[in-house]
Amino acid sequence: MAKRSIVPFGPQHPVLPEPVHLDLVLEDETVVGAVPSIGYIHRGLEKLVEKRDFKQYVYIAERVCGICSCGHGLGYCEAVEQVMGIEVPDRAKYLRTIWMEMSRVHSHLLWLGLLADAMGFESLFMESWRLREKILDMFDETTGGRIIHSVNCVGGVQKDMDSSMLNDILHAVKDLEGELKPVVETFLQDYTVQSRLKGTGILTKENAIAMGAVGPMLRASGVEYDARLLGYAAYKDLTVAPVTSQECDSYARCEVRLKELMQSFELIREAIGKIPEGDISVPVKGNPSGEFFMRIEQPRGEAIYYVKGNGTKYLDRFRLRTPTTSNIPPMVEMLKGCQLADVPVLILTIDPCVSCTER
C-alpha cells in the first residue's frame, strides 16, 4: 500500500491565467482523488440585479467573463426577451449569430494555444494566438472592442454591420481557414501532442451523463447534444450538426474543438449569405414579469440563464449556470487514476473558465 499524500495545486500557477485551487490526493505519483476549491474570483455579480435595472444589467452580464462575454450578453438578453415576449428583428438575430460564432472561434483558438502551452509546445501556442488576432481585429472593426463588445441589448443589437464589414469578415475567415491547416495538422498528427493526449483523461459516456458534463466534453464522450439546435438567435435557419467523437479521451476533446472551429467558419459564411435587411432593434416597453430558463451553447458548453422578474425594472433574480460549473465534477472524476504530471493538461481539456464559474 503506497503512502498517501496531499499536494496543493494553485491558486497562482503557470497553467492558467486564472487562480483555481485543487487538493490532489496522491498515492505515489497516481492521483486518487481531488477536491476543488474555488472562490478566488467570486465577486457576487448575481446580486447586482438589485442595483442595476434590467437594461443596464447587460453590461454586468457581459463582464461575468471576458472570454465568454459575447455569449453572456446574448443569453441574458434572450432570457429577458422571452420573459417580456419581445420578438427581435431578423437582422439582429443574424448579427448576434455572426458575433457568437466569431466568439467561438476566438475562444477555441485561445484554448488550443493554452493547451499547447500546457504541453510545453511553445511555438504552437504562439501560432494559435497569432491566428486568433485576426478574429479580434474583426471584433475591433465591427464592435469597437476586442474582448468586451457590448453589442447585445434587450430588444436587439446596438450596432449594425455594413457590407464592407461583412466582406472583411469573409476574407478574414478565408485567411484563417488556410493558415489554420498546418496548425490543425500538428494538433491531430504530431507525435508529441498525441503522446500527451491519447488515452489520457477518459470520461465514459455513462459518466459524462451521470456527472452532468456539457459542451465539447459531453460531445467528445459520444453524446449528441448541442444547445444551438434549440434554435435561438438565427440558428434555426442554419445548418448545425453536433460534432461528436467516441474516443472519450483528451485527444477526442481536442479533435471536437478543432472540428467546431471549421463548423463555425461555415456557419459564419452561411449567416452572412442569408442575412436579411431591416431594423436591428425594437423598442422595449414595460418591465419584465415572470420567469424563464434560457439555454445557449457557449464555446465551453451549454450555459443556463434564469431570469425572474417582478414587474419592476429591477429583476428578482438572475442566475447563471456556466459550463465550467457543470464540467468540474466530471473533471474530478477524470483526474482519478491519472499521473501527477498529466494533471495540468487534463484540467485544461475541460477548458476551465474560473471567472465564469465564480461570478
Partner 1 sequence: MSKVSKSPWLLHYDASSCNGCDIEVLDCLTPKYDIERFGIINTGDPFQADILLITGGVNSQTESVVKQIYSQMPEPKVVVAVGICACTGGVFKECYNIKGGIDTVIPVDVYVPGCAARPESIIDGVVQALKVLDEKQTALEAKKAAEKSGHPGTAGGDGHGISE
Partner 2 sequence: MAYQSEIRKVTKGEFFPAIVDMKAKDWRLVQICAVSVEGGYEMSYSFCKDYEMVTLRLDVEMDEEVASITQIYPCAFLQENEAAELFGVKITNIQTDYHDRLYRIDETAPFKKKE
**Residue 185 binding: pick among partner 1, partner 2, none (C-beta 5-8 Å cut-off by kind):** none
Cβ-based neighbours of 279, under 8 Å, separated by 6 or more: 89, 91, 92, 156
Residue 210 interacts with, from partner 2, partner 1, none (CB under 5-8 Å by kind): partner 2
Which residue, 14 or 44, has its beta carbon nearer to partner 2?
Answer: 44
C-beta of 113 vs 330, nearer to partner 1: 113
- Taking the complex as a whole, the smallest distance from the CB of residue 180 to partner 2 amounts, in Å, to 31
- Please state the φ and ψ torsions of residue 276, each to the nearest 5 degrees: -85, 160
What secondary structure letter does DSSP report for 295? E
Binding residue (CB under 8 A) for partner 2 from 177, 306, 313, 340: 306
d(CA 86, CA 75): 14
Nearest-approach distance from CB 335 to partner 2, in angstroms: 14
Spatial separation of the C-alpha atoms in residues 318 and 53, rounded to whole Å: 12
Quick one: three-class SS letters along 143-201?
HCCCCCCCCEECCEECCCCCHHHHHHHHHHHHHHHHHHHHHHHHHHHCHHHHHHHCCCC
Pick the closer one to partner 2 by CB: 196 or 228: 228
- Is 225 a binding residue for partner 2 by CB under 8 A? The answer is yes
Closer CB to partner 1, 145 or 222, in the complex: 145
Give yes or no for a contact between 197 and 190, defined as CB atoms under 8 angstroms apart.
no
- Continuous H helices in the chain: 57-62, 69-84, 90-119, 122-143, 163-189, 191-197, 205-210, 216-220, 250-274, 323-335, 343-349, 354-358
Minimum CB separation of residue 14 from partner 1 in Å reads 4
In this structure, what DSSP letter does residue 66 have? S
The residue among 56 and 204 lying less far from partner 1, judged by its C-beta, is: 56
Sign of CA dihedral 117, 121, 125, 128: negative
Residue 45: which of partner 1, partner 2, none does it interact with, CB under 5 to 8 A by kind?
A: partner 1
Adjacency order of strands within the sheet including 21-27: 4-9, 21-27, 30-37
Residue identified by cell 448541442 is 226
Is there binding between residue 47 and partner 2 (CB under 8 A)? yes
Residue closer to partner 1 by CB (options 46, 160) is 46
* Unique residue bearing C-alpha cell 472583411: 168
| Residue 211 within binding range of partner 2, rule CB under 8 A | yes
Write the binding mask 16 to 45 for partner 2: x where contact by CB under 8 A, - elsewhere. -------------------xxxxx--x-x-
Considering only residues 73 through 102, tell me which ones interact with partner 2, judged by CB under 8 A.
82
Residues binding partner 1 (CB under 8 A): 11-14, 17-19, 39-45, 47-48, 51, 59-60, 63-67, 69, 110, 113, 125-126, 129-130, 133, 136, 145-148, 353-355
- Shorter beta-carbon distance to partner 2: residue 51 or 171: 51
Q: Min. distance of Cβ 209 from partner 2 in angstroms?
A: 6
Can you give the binding site for partner 2, defined by CB under 8 A? 35-39, 42, 44, 46-47, 50-51, 82, 209-212, 214, 225, 229-232, 236, 291, 293-295, 302, 304, 306, 308, 316-317, 319, 321, 325-326, 328-330, 358
